[in-house]
């Protein structure tokens, strides 16, 4: 099995980067993997010291098969990640992506490479996630992975064939709003995606991940998730550029080195798990109702008010 290259994106959090690198190195496959580390430049004078400390940490490791790419200017999260992925996929057919706050389990690389190899020729599968949302999996579900209509950007992988569909064209919003069938597909993956793309296209957010999720939906693609998470996200401590402190996404990670996995024979999402994912991302009944109203009457409801209520933990 040919191992996929790893792209690690870092900025100004040396402590987070240290935890992620230390755990990544523990993976048996790491020594035979190519690692690309993309370091974004400082956005403000206040960030310079932390950015420099992060880079010093990276250079303190004696890592083989590692390419470090340091940007003099600040690209921002979205541009940095998209350009980095494009750079790697010019040289390789697949990629594993980590950000500085996504701490992998020892078998994360094994899980990723297995799925990338197993589903390489299945064009329905467009994304493999290492993080598993804390949803309730049915007790009689016998497999180690499940299929979802929605992607996750917390430790993930894809192929060049799938990433070719990535587009951050803001006209994607008009396409969604002009088609009821596309809107239904979007809602099926999560009621929060429509407000997210509205926020993105209005310039109030800097996200590449919402575009990726929607691109997959537009192509009727599917995403793979582990039943037991291979990623522990430590960025919800309030230190991240786009994440406030939030324990809602805390998960129990896989503690065992899984050599063999049970895989569904048919590539079809389990309806019970789809519903559980839908409910998780929609949140409370009040939040679902608010999202529903925003979807139907977005011209009359202020998105900033919804965002404010979310940050205050009122929805």
- Walk me through the domains of the chain, giving residue ranges and CATH numbers: 6-168+208-282 (3.90.550.10)
Surface-to-core class of residue 309, CB atoms within 10 Å of its CB (0-12 exposed, 13-18 middle, 19+ buried): middle
Q: What is the pLDDT along the chain (315 residues), one digit of tens a residue?
A: 899 999 999 999 999 999 999 999 999 999 999 999 999 999 999 999 999 999 999 999 999 899 999 999 999 999 999 999 999 999 999 999 999 999 999 999 999 999 999 999 999 999 999 999 899 999 999 999 999 999 999 999 999 999 999 999 989 999 999 999 999 999 999 888 998 999 898 888 889 999 999 999 999 999 999 999 999 999 865 555 544 445 667 776 766 666 679 999 999 999 999 999 999 988 644 454 555 554 555 554 555 544 444 444 444
Dist CA 311 CA 43 (whole Å)? 24
As given in the structure block, the two tokens for residue 208 are 């590449």
Alpha-carbon span 268 to 263, nearest angstrom: 12
The whole model's pTM is what?
0.87
| 212 neighbors 205 (Cβ within 8 angstroms) | no
Letter string b/e over residues 277-289, b meaning 16 or more CB atoms within 10 A of that residue's CB: bbbebbbeeebbe
């Amino acid at each position: 099995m040919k191992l996929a290259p790893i792209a690690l994106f870092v900025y100004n959090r040396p402590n987070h980067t240290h935890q992620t690198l230390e755990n990544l190195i523990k993976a048996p496959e790491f020594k035979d993997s190519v690692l690309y580390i993309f370091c974004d430049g400082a956005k403000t004078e206040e960030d310079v010291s932390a950015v420099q400390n992060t880079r010093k940490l990276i250079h303190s490791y004696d890592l083989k098969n590692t390419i470090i790419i340091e940007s003099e200017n600040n690209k921002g999260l979205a541009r940095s990640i998209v350009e980095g992925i494009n750079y790697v996929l010019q040289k390789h057919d697949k990629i594993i992506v980590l950000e500085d706050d996504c701490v992998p389990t020892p078998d994360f690389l094994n899980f990723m490479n297995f799925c990338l190899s197993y589903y390489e020729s299945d064009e329905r599968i467009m994304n493999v996630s290492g993080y598993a949302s804390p949803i309730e999996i049915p007790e009689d579900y016998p497999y180690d992975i499940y299929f979802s209509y929605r992607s996750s950007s917390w430790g993930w992988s894809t192929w060049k064939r799938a990433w070719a569909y990535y587009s951050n064209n803001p006209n994607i919003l008009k396409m969604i709003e002009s088609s009821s069938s596309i809107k239904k597909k979007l809602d099926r993956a999560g009621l929060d995606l429509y407000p997210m793309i509205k926020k993105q296209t209005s310039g109030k957010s800097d996200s590449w991940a919402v575009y990726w999720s929607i691109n997959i939906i537009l192509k009727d693609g599917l995403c793979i998730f582990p039943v037991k998470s291979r990623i522990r996200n430590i960025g919800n401590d309030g230190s991240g550029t786009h994440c406030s402190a939030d324990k809602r996404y805390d998960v129990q990670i896989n503690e065992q080195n899984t050599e063999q996995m049970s895989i569904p024979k048919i590539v079809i999402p389990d309806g019970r798990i789809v519903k559980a994912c839908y409910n998780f991302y929609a949140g409370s009944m009040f939040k679902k109702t608010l999202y529903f109203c925003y979807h139907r009457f977005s011209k009359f409801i202020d998105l900033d008010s919804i965002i404010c209520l979310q940050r205050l933990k009122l929805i």
